[in-house]
Amino acid sequence: MRYIHPQHVQINLCLIHHRSHAYDEPTLDTTRTDPHPCCRFAVKAGAKHVIGVDMSTIILKAREIVEANGMSDKITLLQGKMEEVELPFPEVDIIISEWMGYFLLYESMLDTVLWARDRYLRKDGKGLIFPDKATIFMAGIEDGEYKDEKIGCMSTLPLSTSLTR
């Protein structure tokens, strides 16, 4: 049984919700891990053609799966960095990407998505990016044990040592 990331399901729902959007140009998937589930969802939602880009060798297995599902004529999978591959179409209607990292920023691919947006997203203002919003919730806390471990060790320095000079 294959695990499907919850975000793939959310993106699928977004695509179905926006099914009325004109799919004149292809959809671009710039996911950082295994693009084929999102690509298949986009095809099932009505995308004319979907392009998946990934640097890893998982793209080779993804191509086999796409072919086994009879979607080779609708999905093109490219191996390489988004900024270095040449897409088979000059524009796309929708960009789908799992761009957020931990806390939205760590290991983020936002810069890649923005590059793809500027280079490939249709220029008439009707292009879409999924997900298109993110919220960071933050709360200040103090972890006394962690603080003592990392900073408290200063109190065990020899008395003749001064940290002020």
CA angle 120, 121, 127 (to 5 degrees): 165
Question: How many domains would you assign to the chain?
Answer: 1
Asked, for residue 143, whether it belongs to a domain, the answer is: no
Asked, for residue 145, whether it belongs to a domain, the answer is: no
Question: Which pLDDT tens digit goes with each residue over 71-104?
Answer: 999 999 999 999 999 998 898 888 888 777 777 7
Indicate the range of 1-10, 42-51, 79-88, 138-147 predicted with least confidence.
Answer: 1-10
- Let me know if 39 is exposed, middle or buried by CB neighbors in 10 A (0-12, 13-18, 19+): buried
Asked, for residue 162, whether it belongs to a domain, the answer is: no
Q: What is the CATH number of the domain that holds 73?
A: 3.40.50.150
Which residue range(s) make up the domain with 89? 6-130
Portion of the chain with pLDDT greater than 70, in percent = 69
**Angle subtended by helix axes 36-44 and 6-17, to nearest 10:** 20
Asked, for residue 29, whether it belongs to a domain, the answer is: yes
Q: Which of 13, 103, 112, 123 is nearest to 54 (CA)?
A: 112
Give yes or no: 98 in active site.
yes
Asked, for residue 17, whether it belongs to a domain, the answer is: yes
Question: Which pLDDT tens digit goes with each residue over 27-54?
Answer: 665 554 456 677 887 787 778 888 888 8
Give yes or no: 91 in active site.
no
Q: Specify the 3-state DSSP secondary structure of 17.
A: helix
- Say which of 107, 142, 145, 149 is annotated catalytic: 107
- Say which of 91, 98, 145, 149 is annotated catalytic: 98
Asked, for residue 150, whether it belongs to a domain, the answer is: no
